[in-house]
Amino acid sequence: MKRMSFETALIHAGQAADKQTGSVNVPVYQTSTYKQDGIGRDRGWEYSRSGNPTRAALESCIAALEGVPHGLAFASGLAAETAVLGGLLKKGDHVVAGDDLYGGTFRLFEKIFRKWGLEISYADSRDPAAFKKAMRRNTRLVWAETPTNPLLNITDIAAVAEIAHKGKALLAVDNTFATPYFQRPAELGADIALHSSTKYLGGHSDVIGGLLAIKDKAVFEAVKFYQNAAGGVPGPWDAWLTLRGIKTLAVRMKAHEANAFEIAALLARHPAVSKVFYPGLEGHPGHALAGEQMDGFGGMVSFELRGGRPAADKFFRRLKVFTLAESLGGVESLACYPAAMTHAAIPERDRLKRGITAGLVRLSAGIENSEDQLADLERALK
Ligand SMILES: Cc1ncc(COP(=O)(O)O)c(C=O)c1O
């Protein structure tokens, strides 16, 4: 059969009509355990930490969307990240990570895994040569987030994959901002694509979740072993909600992106704004690369206010359509202050070095009417 197109896979991959009833939606298998027909004679399901049919549908779906054989679902993006690190690495192994990362990922590296003997170093997310320079004899994993949170930097996935593989390391790419609608890292050489499905995949700010899409069977088995051994799995309702969100990913991402373009254009000409970070803008240093490796530029826009913290306080106070909140990727527009929210776990000195300044604001363009969004920003920036 011809491979399903992306939009069709969103709705059907892993989600054939239920065998028993014909239900067109995957049932919520709200069960912790399964009847066995005799000792060692289960029907393919034993215990819901090890596997659950609703979760399995989501796992098949993300694998199909990312174009790889294997998928895994977790209780959060960070649980997925933990399983990659815990399942694949051991004491004394080294990780090279891009330096512009979600603050929680940085915290996981620095406050949890370093303590267990993992070595971690950071490379300029925009510069493959910096990744190459950071590689060591014991580097087993290269980690890139692209576009990055919160500065929307673009990492060259194909170049970094080649560097990782030359050093006998795997490449994991955090694809949360782009989603497989705009970017499929495995096609560019990555071994693992990971998601906080809390964001665009779930899409409605109503569920926390994490997903992995994995190319190689042995890598998949090692991470799956960790998943079962350590827990961290989503419940069937959360898996179901995520599947429901994914069905509309294509229409939502188009709308998020169209609105983000308008927002970036408004910010770029506004006198209260000193810098705009959006890869869709021609002046963005990663614009050409994003055009090559992505099918679109996404719905996230960051910018710097000239007036620093006082201007930011005033801006957030005046917003009405945008909501000041953590997270992103939902249908509603959100605004965040990275220095005190998503990236507070990074020491101030490192934050400033990376460009996370006191005037930096991150916007997640929702899918409300664009003119309402623009009027809200104009009012708040006055
Ligand atoms: C890029 C990125 N990766 C990972 C995570 C962690 O995901 P979760 O909050 O679902 O644990 C986040 C959360 O904000 C994120 O923005």
29, 102, 181, 278: the catalytic one is 102
Of all protein residues, the one whose alpha carbon is nearest to atom 15 of ligand 1 is 102
18, 34, 42, 49: the catalytic one is 49
pLDDT at 334: 98
Best residue for ligand 1 mutational test, from 176, 195, 208 (most atoms within 8 Å of Cβ):
176
Taking only the tens place, the pLDDT of each residue in 53-86 is 999 999 999 999 999 999 999 999 999 999 999 9
55, 199, 354, 362: the catalytic one is 199
Q: What is the DSSP string of 64-114?
A: HHHTSSEEEEESSHHHHHHHHHHHH--TT-EEEEESS--HHHHHIIIIIIT
**Mean pLDDT of all residues in 98-118:** 96
pTM beyond 0.95, yes or no: yes
pLDDT at 2: 59
Nearest alpha-carbon partner for 263 in 237, 288, 299:
299
Residues in CB range of 288: below 8 A, 6 or more apart: none
**Mean pLDDT of all residues in 316-339:** 97
346: pLDDT strictly greater than 50? yes
366: pLDDT strictly greater than 80? yes
Q: How many helices (H) and strands (E) does the chain have?
A: 14, 12
Label the pairing between strands 334-336 and 94-98.
unpaired
Share of the chain above pLDDT 70, in %: 99
CA distance 180 to 183: 5
Taking only the tens place, the pLDDT of each residue in 234-254 is 999 999 999 999 999 999 999
| Residue 217 C-beta-side C-alpha neighbours within 13 Å | 0
Taking only the tens place, the pLDDT of each residue in 148-199 is 999 999 999 999 999 999 999 999 999 999 999 999 999 999 999 999 999 9
Taking only the tens place, the pLDDT of each residue in 1-57 is 457 899 999 999 999 999 999 999 999 999 999 999 999 999 999 999 999 999 999
Best residue for ligand 1 mutational test, from 125, 143, 182, 196 (most atoms within 8 Å of Cβ):
196
Alpha-helical regions (H) of the chain? 6-12, 53-66, 77-88, 103-107, 128-134, 157-166, 179-182, 217-230, 236-247, 249-268, 287-293, 308-318, 348-354, 370-381
46 CA distance to ligand 1 middle (Å): 30
123: pLDDT strictly greater than 70? yes
Cis before 279 (ω within 30): no
